[in-house]
Structure 1
Amino acid sequence: MNIMDQLIDFMNNPRLTSSLNRDPDVVSSGLDPKYPLTLFLALGIWLVYDRYQKAHTSPLPFEVTPPKAADPEWTSLPIPNANIESHLTNEEIMPPVALPGRRYITSFDPATGLHLQTVLADDEDLIESKIARAAKAQKYWKTTTYTQRRRVMSSLLKWLVDNQELCAQVACRDTGKTLLDASFGEILTTCSKLEWLINRGEKALKPEKRGTNMMMFYKKSEVHYEPLGVVAGVVSWNYPLHNSWSPIIASIFAGNGIILKCSENVVWSTSWFVEIIQQCLVTCGHDPELVQLVCCYPEQANALIQSPRIKHITFIGSDTVGRKVAMAATKHLTPVTLELGGKDPAIILPKANIEAIAPLLMRGVYQNMGQNCIGIERILVHSSLYDELFEYFESRVTRMRVGSVMAMSPEGYISTVDGGAMINGDRFAGLEKVLHDAEEAGAHIVGGKTYNHVYLENGYYFAPTIVGNVDPEMEIAKQEVFAPIALLMPYDRIEEAVNIANSTKYGLGASVWGPDQDLCLKVAKNLECGMVSLNDFGVFYINQDLPFGGAKGSGYGRFGGPEGLRSLTNPKSVIMDRFWINTSVPTVLHYPLRSLTNSWTFVSGLVEFLYGYGWRSRLSGLSRVIKTANK
């Protein structure tokens, strides 16, 4: 309990107000002294506490050297078709020192094909060493106060706001996204989480009072949320800043050390984003070894997932890999939070205002070029509104420009683009096939092909696409596409829309749109998912006081909100005496038992007294307890 909580408890102490109420001068005035006194004390305490907080949690400035490739004018050796295996034969990009038996990871800009770096992948021994170093640092870190942890969070928040363009450019360089998509998905969400931890993190983790029952009336019960030790985050590539910072800041605020295993697709940017947190820890007087980054291929990841030192795993990625992680974690019964894929539906109810909601729907579909776990994957629109919505999408999607915000055009300027690149081209053939199959089955497709950029021939681009008249039985309506593809699915009855929405194996997020909010809420309650927003898209993640996660094939567990923060702790139940009364064992229950009959009569009477129906039953039970207590 911090000083503010103690002072508030003092102000609310009934002895204080009762003693004042006995003062005849106060009573004769006709005023209840409780409220003005409490207000006066609260104001004074707030002023003192505010100064105390600012002095001890105000952000500390620190600097981190920006990577050269964050400059849009930076250039390097292009990798034809982004062939990541070219580092094995190209001496220009091969590291100067090669180690036998070690593999390499090549990072490149998927929008331009420019080589970023080639680094040694971590092996099992190095991973174990990093876990050990984090465990050593965590022994001290778990003793830090929430005030100290808030200073780290506030320092990170200020740094991020001051350097948001640089961070967005780093994310764009490594993933091919646009600055706007980086601002929404990387900066805003991370700032929101930092702010929540600063303002509400301690409240979620401080000892929580719990109720009791008649039998235990003389006891008080609490739940204490204690650090687990060293935890792990195994995260995806689509938001390298947020997907790295989010599990890190939550884990260390809860008192843990953390090992972050990033995707091999974004090693370059994630390394720098983790370096920022480590430098912030140093500036605030803490050990940077508390936070470790593991860069390896999936074959080496079990060294992290199956380590007995890892006490919790947060996994963000596909359901295929998530299942493997969950199974591997059973070796030491390590708890896992799984945030997997989604096929999020947006249900457009009759009489919805298409002009008003369509821009939000487009943002939900094409944000980050569809590479978004809570992106809108299916638009279920009432048949009376279908043509209007399709025409709206077609008139704009066909004019969307894709490209790189980190590359100059042949004319020497950075073009305005609506969408960036895909992370790579591995899924392009599969996307084109599932689109072709949908068209063969009667779907109306606009776009739907790999996009060959005019001057960024080494970039991975897929044309923004619309698929109309989609039938729920089509494969494209069932599998997660994770691409810039809008599926428009007409329906006639609201019950039909709900059934279609619930028909896939996924259940992450959803949205319901219409002028009648009561009807929207009624529909939302029937959706099988972990999160739903009414007349908006994805805002359940901007509010970090809410838990984030899904149902069915979208995983289990939650991160975000009090539930997510507490999942990174050991909830320990603590019960203690409230008054001078202590638990004692009646003579009738002493070992060895004098009489089984008397002992049973006492215990059964106690049960009837505590839980019997009606006062006669309870009095009867109490009578038996009294009669046999000392026999």
Structure 2
Amino acid sequence: MSTHAALTVPTIGELSIPTGLFINNEFRASSSGQTVPTINPANGETLLEVSHASQEDVDEAVRAARKAFETAWGNNVQASERGALLNKLADLMERDAEKLAALESLDSGKGIRIVREIDLPDSVACLRYYAGLADKFFGQTIPHFGKDKFVYTIHQPIGVCGQIIPWNYPLLMWAWKVAPALAAGCCIVMKPSELTPLSALYMCQLVKEAGIPAGVFNTVPGLGATTGDAISRHMDIDKVAFTGSVMTGRRISIAAAESNLKKVTLELGGKSPSLIFESANIEEAADWSALGIWFNSGQDCTAGSRIYVHESIYETFIAALKKKAEACAIGQAGLFVCSSDYDETTSFGPLISEAQRDKVLGYISSGVDEGARLVAGGKKWSKSGNGYWVEPTIIADVKPHFKVVQEEIFGPVVVISKFSTESEALTLANSSTFGLAAAVHTNDARQAMRVTAALDAGTVWCNQYGMLHPGVPFGGFKMSGVGRELGTYGLEAYTQVKAVHQNLAMDMQWPI
């Protein structure tokens, strides 16, 4: 089987796209010869067939990573050199930005403008942040033992890390995982989502071109139940990092515990609430709430999918948000079908798959059946064709026990209900098994401080939504995950702390 395939991308032309496994800085076919198709979500057509990594392929990738860690990376390379290589990789991403943006748009359904203006720059910024942090991560000296003893700590790379990334932000999640791991000195065995593998495979070429040594970074595309499980259970992988669903996160945790008890970090689902208080600017709150739920067509773990509005402004806010839904730039978002469909003004793309679209439509039906009011949307987009669009949807007057309130929908659907008091709003917001993000809209500064402190969420936005930065930690409370990504916390997740006790005494001071 060939390890590359030609793909015609509108406005770019024909590109040679890697479709094989990337092990030891070389592309190769899978040992089984099996492949998995990647589908264009705008029209349901197959883009390419990508190799499916077997258990044997994962073993080979881990062996390459272990050898590199022991001989060519980890403590064998100065941290400043690792940072320089990450900066070189960021340079190459910027050089190939148009190709990467087009490929990401085609494979994931994102608007080309969104990839070019947000996903790509944020990915580059993440690489550069950790490039700068690589040689600025220090241990401690612990001066509590008098003149006869000196104690200090060393932060050392964990070793070989399995990384499993999702389909909703393929390139950005690649950067979030790869940058801190390489900066810390770890080696990687990466599994991109089988639904969106193309940008991750393209990045393998840039990793090699940047001069990162063979074996440091390896990519094994495949299905979660086979390739992902092989990574999670591998006895020579020291840590697994995963972003995705709670159900899969549980399986990974079990697999890690049943194998070598490898370290696990999980960034899982969300059902993030936004609280709109009576002092809020209604138009501003509606703008941020629209961004919070309809950015990336609602396929976002932090999507603001539950909105609680003070009863005095409830209908006014709903009317404002309905206008935002009707104004969403839904369409053939960028590079989906052919060059004649190219339109940079659109940003609201299709859902990732037919199954996901049907799942979202099922949630909408359940909300209406349980007695909620459908304010906007609620059906397939009329111009979908064979694509997987669902209209921006608002469901109002929901009750806490409704399925659409309790479960993560992962689509462009927001549910709204009212509250009377601050205490009631907090009870409603925190009555969830999730705790990834939340938002507070109020012009009462004291209330803002009280409510942000009381919300059970790893990220809380005040009078805004969705803003992230590579220097700010990200992760969840409760079932939304374990550990943190980004910031110095993200680097800590790829290191181990060693305490060193130095005896400075001339003779032994302790009795036997």
> What TM-score, normalized by structure 1, do the two folds share?
0.73
Counterpart check, 1:219 vs 2:149: yes
Q: Please report how far the alpha carbon of residue 68 of structure 1 lies from its aligned counterpart in structure 2 after TM superposition.
A: 4.2
Q: Which of 10, 14, 34 is residue 71 of structure 1 equivalent to?
A: 10
Question: 1:431 maps to which residue?
Answer: 360
**1:358 CA drift (Å):** 2.1
Asked if 1:264 is matched to 2:188, the reply is: no
Shift of 1:409: 7.6
**CA distance in 2 between partners of 1:569 and 1:582 (Å):** 34
Aligned to 1:128: 59
Structure 2 residue 486 is the aligned partner of structure 1 residue 554:
no
Match 1:421 to one of 307, 326, 350: 350
Show the counterpart of 1:378: 306
Q: Which residue of 2 is the match for residue 336 of structure 1? A: 264
* Residues 1:116 and 1:427: Cα distance change in structure 2 (over 3 Å): closer
**Alignment correspondent of 1:37:** none
Please state whether the residue corresponding to 1:277 is helix, strand or coil.
helix
2:324 & 2:464 partners in 1: Cα distance? 20
CA distance in structure 1 between the aligned counterparts of 2:201 and 2:393, rounded to whole angstroms: 34
Residue aligned with 1:310, SS: coil
Would the alpha carbon gap of residues 418 and 267 (structure 1) be closer, same or farther in structure 2, given more than 3 Å must change? closer
1:191 is aligned to 2:124: yes
Aligned to 2:73: 141
Kept in 2: contact 1:185–1:242 (CA 8 A): no
Q: State the percentage of identical aligned residues.
A: 25
* Farther off after superposition, 66-75 or 168-177: 66-75
- Describe the shift of the 1:428–1:113 C-alpha distance in structure 2 as closer, same or farther (beyond 3 A): closer
Counterpart of 2:380 in structure 1 is 450
Task: Indicate how the Cα distance of structure 1 residues 280 and 465 shifts in structure 2: closer, same or farther if over 3 A, else same.
Answer: same
Match of 1:209 in 2: 140
Structure-2 change in CA distance of 1:388 and 1:67 (3 Å): farther
Aligned position for 2:242: 315
SS at match of 2:390: coil
| Native 8 Å contact 1:409 1:415 kept in 2 | no
Say which SS state the counterpart of residue 136 (structure 2) adopts: helix
- Alpha-carbon separation, structure 1, partners of 2:169 and 2:190: 14
Answer yes or no: is 1:299 the counterpart of 2:225: yes
Deviates more, 1:131-140 or 1:179-188: 179-188
One-letter amino acid matched to 1:166: K
1:158 is matched with which residue: 91, 110, 113? 91
Q: Residues 74-101 of structure 1: CA distance to partner in whole angstroms, max 9, x if unpaired?
A: 699xxxxxxxxxxxxxxxxxxxx99996
Pick one of 334, 359, 372 that aligns with 2:287: 359
Query: Are the aligned partners of 1:102 and 1:123 in contact in 2 as well (CA < 8 Å)?
Result: no
Separation in structure 1 between the aligned mates of residue 486 and residue 205 of structure 2, nearest angstrom: 23
**CA offset at residue 72 of structure 1?**
4.2
Question: Does the CA-based 8 Å contact 1:279-1:288 persist in structure 2?
Answer: no
Partner residue, 1:244: 174
Aligned to 1:464: 392
Q: CA deviation at 1:321?
A: 0.6
**Using a 3 Å threshold, how does the CA distance of structure 1 residues 368 and 217 change in structure 2: closer, same or farther?**
farther
Alignment equivalent of 1:113, drawn from 44, 47, 54: 44
**Aligned position for 1:170:** 103
Report the CA distance shift for 1:126/1:510 in structure 2 as closer, same or farther (over 3 A). same
Structure 2: distance between partners of 1:426 and 1:134: 35
| SS in structure 1 of the partner of residue 435 of structure 2 | coil
Q: Which has the higher helix share?
A: 1
* Letter of the 2:349 counterpart: G
What residue number does 1:24 align with?
none
Change (3 A) 1:69 1:573: farther
Q: 1:99, 1:198 → 2: CA distance?
A: 32
Gap runs ≥5 in structure 2: 16-27
Report the AA paired with residue 332 of structure 1: N
2:150 match: secondary structure? strand
Q: Which moved more, 1:551-560 or 1:336-345?
A: 551-560
CA distance in 2: counterparts of 1:336 and 1:385, whole angstroms: 44
Per the alignment, in what secondary structure is the counterpart of residue 384 of structure 1? helix
Structure 2: how far apart are the matches of 1:115 and 1:377? 31
> Deviation per CA, 1:575-612, whole angstroms, max 9, x where unpaired?
325xx6456336xx35xxxxxxxxxxxxxxxxxxxxxx
Question: Within 1, Cα distance between the matches of 2:197 and 2:481?
Answer: 25
Q: Which runs of 5+ in 1 are unaligned?
A: 1-64, 77-96, 591-631
Check the 8 A contact 2:50/2:221 in 1, yes or no.
no
Q: Helix, strand or coil: the match of 2:417? A: strand
Moved more, 109-118 or 179-188: 179-188
Letter in 1 for 2:424: E
Distance 1:412 1:191 in 2: 28
> 1:619-630, aligned counterparts within 5 Å?
none
Going from structure 1 to structure 2, the CA distance change for 1:447 and 1:245 (only over 3 Å counts) comes to: same
Residue in 1 aligned with 2:498? 572
The separation in 2 between residues aligned to 1:256 and 1:70, in whole angstroms, is 35
Seen in structure 2, the aligned counterparts of structure 1 residues 69 and 225 have a Cα distance that, compared at 3 Å, is farther
* Counterpart secondary structure, 2:65: helix
| Correspondence for 2:415 | 487
Partner of 2:316: 388
Classify 1:152/1:325 alpha carbon distance in 2 versus 1 (closer, same or farther; 3 Å).
same
Q: Tell me which of the two structures has the higher relative contact order, counting C-alpha pairs closer than 8 angstroms and 6 or more residues apart.
A: 2
**Can you list the C-alpha shifts for 1:511-534, whole angstroms capped at 9, x where unaligned?**
111112332121011111212122
Alignment of 1:488-503 (within 5 A): 488-503=416-431
Tell me if the contact between 2:194 and 2:221 (Cα under 8 Å) persists in the aligned partners.
yes
CA contact (8 A) 1:405 1:414 kept: yes
Q: What is the letter of the counterpart of residue 435 of structure 1?
A: I
Q: RMSD value over aligned CA atoms?
A: 2.6
Rounded to whole Å, the distance in 2 between the matches of 1:444 and 1:583 is: 80
Question: C-alpha separation between the residues in 2 aligned to 1:582 and 1:534?
Answer: 59
Structure 1 residue 232 displacement after superposition = 0.9
In structure 1, C-alpha distance between the alignment counterparts of 2:301 and 2:269, rounded to whole Å: 6
Deviates more, 1:217-226 or 1:131-140: 217-226
Bigger Rg, which one: 1
Equivalent residues in 2 for 1:589-600, closer than 5 Å: 589-590=511-512
Aligned pair count reads 491
For residues 171 and 370 of structure 1, the distance between their equivalents in structure 2, rounded to whole angstroms, comes to: 17
CA deviations 1:137-168 (Å, max 9, x no partner) are 22211211122111112112233334333322
What is the SS of the residue equivalent to 2:355? coil
Is the CA contact 1:73–1:406 (under 8 Å) kept in the aligned structure 2? Answer: no
1:112 deviates by 2.8
Residue 435 (structure 2) aligns with: 507
SS in 2 for 1:427: helix
Give the match for residue 405 of structure 1: 334
The whole-number CA distance in structure 2 between the counterparts of 1:102 and 1:411 is 36
CA contact (8 A) 1:201 1:562 kept: no
Flag the 1:438–1:198 CA change in 2: closer, same or farther, 3 A.
same
Q: Which residue in the other structure is 1:182 paired with?
A: 115
Q: Which amino acid aligns with 1:537?
A: Y
1:414–1:529 distance in 2 versus 1, CA, 3 Å: closer
Please give the TM-score of this superposition, normalised by the length of structure 2. 0.89
Q: Displacement, 1:340?
A: 0.5
SS of the residue aligned with 1:231? Answer: strand
Q: Which has the higher strand share?
A: 2
Q: Distance in 2 between matches of 1:436 and 1:137?
A: 52
